[in-house]
Structure 1
Amino acid sequence: MIFAFAFFHMQNHKFTKMALLFLTFLCLITSSRAAILNRIGINYGRLGNNLPSPAKSIELLQSMNAGRVKLYDADHEILHLLSGKNIEVAITVANDEISAIASNQHLADQWVYEHVLAHYPSTKIRFVLVGNEVLSSTNTVQDMQIAKDLVPAMRRIKNTIKSQGIRNIKVGTPLAMDMMGTTFPPSNGSFKPEMRELMIPLLKYLNGTRSFFFVDVYPYFAWAESRANNQTGIDLGFALLRSGNMTYTDPQSGLVYTDLLDQMLDSVVYAMAKLGYDDVMLAIAETGWPHEGDSDEFGANKENAAEYNNNLIKKMSATPSNGTPARPGAVIPTFIFSMYDENQKYGPATERHWGLMNPDGSAVYAVNITGKVNPSD
């Protein structure tokens, strides 16, 4: 009996030790996965006539320790240059390709073969974004047709990817905050009534494929608009994600907000829930702060841009994830806009001054993409 007890105790000790080792291993995997998911991405736009070559640009992305890059196309040279690099990639189907792909599976197959399979898996393509802010332009018959064709095109692209046995590429589409009818307070968030018939099939698709709802979200614009309409408007520190600056309590949900970005994101969360989809994951396709603007574009300067982006990186790269008040702990993949100033864009000066890097490869202002005190840690 004593021998049996001793044997059982020894075996139990071994089991406990193995269980602890397994749990430690599991925690390491979970922590590592969270770290990968929380790596900050950068939008690489190329509407400029003074930009570095693609080869130099990829070198700069690596030197900045960017975890992801988002392309506004699926350029073969850039995708080839990203081969073998530890950078996850988002590629984009052009808006004018959507309707043709939606109506023809062969064209969807062709697009995936040419732009995904030709480079995957050596190039870490993780997102295929169908269109860019498609629902922001629905005034013409053609624009409305593209909007209606959006989900069918996404479905065809996904079908081709899935047929190749690929499970780690998500298909989504970036939408702008102009889809929202109400954003304040966050619990009152709702989409514009005319968006409902387009939004429901999109949310159904994203929910069914466990993909992300990609949103272009800019606290700068919300702050600037509030300042123009009301001199006391939204507090600048609140818009810049300044910790300990101030708080706002949503009167309906009771949730406490410490920055404007969380308010804007949660307004989308509540809007989705009102249509019956309360657990579709969020991703930030674009966000940032302009470092220069016209004389009447207040707040567009390097100091504010540096503060916003560094606070954003610290917030979104935290492990474990911060999430938002409505979704604490949720991982929100985030892409900063943008890598360079793009001097061929039209509109006010802010349109051309969102860049992190100058054409010569130097930093416009100090920013630490890793969010760590020492990037080498």
Structure 2
Amino acid sequence: MRKLKNSLKIHSLNKIKVGTSMAMDVLESSFPPSNGTFRSDIAGPIVKPMLQFLSRTKSFYFLDVYPYFPWSSEPKNINLDYALFESRTITYTDPVSNLTYTNMFDQMVDSVVFAMKKLGYPDVRIWIAETGWPNAGDIDQIGANIYNAATYNRNAIKKLTAKPAIGTPARPGWVLPSFIFALYNENQKPGPGTERHFGLLYPNGSNVYGIDLSGETPDSDFEPLPKPDNNEPYKGKIWCVAARGVNASELGSALSYACSQGNKTCDPIQPGKECFKPDSLVWHASYAFSSYWSQLKQTGATCYFNGLATQTAKDPSFGHCKFPSVTL
């Protein structure tokens, strides 16, 4: 960052701020917010010099804030309305700072504020580099739906564009410049389904839901939102099968990859075995995907295969061929 700043200065571009985006995983502790602490492995050698630079150049600490992730990992312990800025009666009071919180977003931001304070930089400004909520996801990804995404983003925009500025409990009245993530659903992005569904727009440019980035449009002026149907954890079995209409050549390569991972992933689809018939590429790939995913999901494997696979709650097993599954 110093080199970038020096280069800008050489070209008399003195008003451009230099910074870098940080996720919440830079914190070793974030609860309660007053206990916010940077990870010990990066606090001294990385974060403190960065904060010194940001303070000296009057730049921003760019922060990614996604209440969806802590909520979805602990939906029984974190109230959904609290995560969506919808809480009317649920609050949390930090036992050390005595600050009262009405939403998860403020709680997360202030944990970074307190962490910076511990390193001696209580006044470095924060810019929300990313925040948002997924409008869809995989079967096993709770709460990823259009209703929640629209609710979160509309409420976030109202808070962040309010005049006078609201700030957070630890920084009341401070302006929080922010970016909503993302403009488009990134339909070719790898990883879990939510990674492809944070957009305000579909890839063809149409709206996923109504939104006003000025925060001035009342919710009643938007079209009604579809009711959420996955705000509770899915219970049951899930299979990973070949998606419809995919390229045969690419599917063949993905099948080869799944079968090359060992653990007898594809033994049942070998000639003469119980899952060989029907002898089709889609059938064999579907079995291989389910077998691969069921064995390796716990180590981070996903049901994606470069967009060639999809999850299903309908058992694809046929006759004597039983497809492996993931049970939630």
TM-based fold match above 0.5: yes
Q: CA deviation at 1:171?
A: 0.5
For residue 206 of structure 1, what is the amino acid of its counterpart? L
**Counterpart in the other structure of 1:206:** 54
Matched, 1:371 2:215: yes
Residue in structure 1 matching 2:18, options 152, 156, 171: 171
Q: CA deviation at 1:330?
A: 0.7
**Counterpart in the other structure of 2:3:** 156
**Counterpart in the other structure of 1:182:** 29
For residue 211 of structure 1, what is the amino acid of its counterpart? S
Contact 1:238 1:245 in 2 (8 A): no
Contact 1:219 1:239 in 2 (8 A): yes
Q: CA deviation at 1:245?
A: 4.2
**Structure 1 segment 303-314 matched on structure 2, within 5 A:** 303-314=147-158
Matched, 1:237 2:66: no
**RMSD of aligned alpha carbons:** 1.2
Q: Deviations over 1:190-215 (max 9, x none)?
A: 01110112111101000100100001
Q: Deviations over 1:35-91 (max 9, x none)?
A: xxxxxxxxxxxxxxxxxxxxxxxxxxxxxxxxxxxxxxxxxxxxxxxxxxxxxxxxx
Contact 2:134 2:197 in 1 (8 A): yes
**Structure 1 segment 19-38 matched on structure 2, within 5 A:** none
**Counterpart in the other structure of 1:273:** 117
**Counterpart in the other structure of 2:182:** 338
Work out the number of aligned pairs and report it.
Answer: 217
For residue 69 of structure 2, what is the amino acid of its counterpart? F
Unaligned runs of 5+ residues in structure 2 are 219-328
Greater share of helix residues, 1 or 2?
1
- Structure 1 segments (4+ residues) deviating >4 Å: none
Q: CA deviation at 1:358?
A: 1.5
**Counterpart in the other structure of 2:94:** 250
For residue 270 of structure 1, what is the amino acid of its counterpart? F
Give me the identity figure in percent: 54
Contact 1:237 1:245 in 2 (8 A): no
**Counterpart in the other structure of 1:283:** 127
Alpha-carbon separation, structure 2, partners of 1:187 and 1:309: 26
Matched, 1:216 2:71: no
Alpha-carbon separation, structure 2, partners of 1:308 and 1:251: 27
For residue 165 of structure 1, what is the amino acid of its counterpart? S
Q: Deviations over 1:223-274 (max 9, x none)?
A: 01112xxxx2100000001152421111100001010000000000000111
Matched, 1:192 2:39: yes
Alpha-carbon separation, structure 2, partners of 1:353 and 1:359: 10
Give the 3-state SS of the residue equivalent to 1:171 in structure 2. Answer: coil
Q: CA deviation at 1:156?
A: 1.3
For residue 32 of structure 2, what is the amino acid of its counterpart? P
Q: Deviations over 1:330-359 (max 9, x none)?
A: 111100110111122111111111110122
Contact 1:181 1:191 in 2 (8 A): yes
Alpha-carbon separation, structure 1, partners of 2:159 and 2:139: 31
For residue 206 of structure 2, what is the amino acid of its counterpart? S
For residue 201 of structure 1, what is the amino acid of its counterpart? P
Contact 1:207 1:277 in 2 (8 A): yes
Alpha-carbon separation, structure 2, partners of 1:179 and 1:373: 36
Unaligned runs of 5+ residues in structure 1 are 1-153
Alpha-carbon separation, structure 1, partners of 2:118 and 2:198: 34
Q: CA deviation at 1:168?
A: 2.4
